[in-house]
A = this chain, B = another copy of it.
């Protein structure tokens, strides 16, 4: 039953300590972001944006609004993974390339747009949930891609969202859903933590 994906899922663990002397290339920073955006999103909304914090100055500014966590300055990069508040008016724009590629018939676009409107229009909690969901789909994809390349990764929620938005000029409709550090882990990190028994978390009906 084991295969490389399952091995990666089983072996992944969250990195706490990074080797600050080892960088990754700009090409890797970009490639990881590209892979993250291959994650699924509702209606192909792709309502995410990544700010890759790479420079010493930017890392210091991020650390100052993120509980002073050393990971942020030690890791090669920390992505601010933003979800964008879901909104149906972008749908024709997001679906046009799908139509142009011959995948989706043009006649389906109004139906999808209407479905998105029925979910999000004047439904701020649902629109925010969608932002967090899409951002997290992309973040988890990035985590497993990084693991497969021998890199450590750290999803983080210990930060001041207003501070992050201000320091990095996030738009009104962008929710910083999590921070995600990536880089080379030192050998002293913890292994994957034990999980709750499956009987507590799975019900089959």
Residues of A that sit less than 8 Å from B by CB: 1, 3-6, 8-10, 12, 14, 26, 29-31, 33-35, 37-40, 42, 44, 46, 48-55, 58, 94, 97-98, 100-101, 103-104, 115, 119, 125, 128-130, 132-133, 136-137, 139-141, 143-145, 147-149, 155, 157-158, 168, 177-178, 190-196, 198, 201-205
Q: Which 7 A/B pairs are nearest by Cβ-Cβ distance?
A: A5-B148, A140-B140, A136-B136, A4-B4, A97-B194, A58-B205, A33-B202
B38 and A195 contacting across the interface, CB-CB below 8 Å: yes
A192 and B157 contacting across the interface, CB-CB below 8 Å: no
Set of chain B residues within 8 Å of A205, measured between Cβ atoms: 51-55, 58, 168
| Assembled-state Cα–Cα distance A196/B50 (Å) | 13
| Assembled-state Cα–Cα distance A48/B14 (Å) | 18
B38 and A9 contacting across the interface, CB-CB below 8 Å: yes
Number of copies: 2
B14, B98, B129, B201: the one within 8 Å of A49 (CB): B201
A103 and B191 contacting across the interface, CB-CB below 8 Å: yes
* CB proximity of A126 to chain B, nearest CB, Å: 8
Set of chain B residues within 8 Å of A137, measured between Cβ atoms: 136, 139-140, 155
B157 and A119 contacting across the interface, CB-CB below 8 Å: yes
12 further A-B pairs in the complex, CB-CB below 8 A; given A39-B140, A132-B133: A4-B5, A9-B141, A26-B204, A30-B202, A33-B201, A34-B198, A37-B201, A51-B203, A98-B194, A103-B191, A132-B132, A168-B205
* CB proximity of A54 to chain B, nearest CB, Å: 6
* Nearest neighbor of A203 in chain B, beta-carbon distance: B51
Set of chain B residues within 8 Å of A128, measured between Cβ atoms: 125, 129
Set of chain B residues within 8 Å of A26, measured between Cβ atoms: 204
B30 and A145 contacting across the interface, CB-CB below 8 Å: no
* Nearest neighbor of A168 in chain B, beta-carbon distance: B205
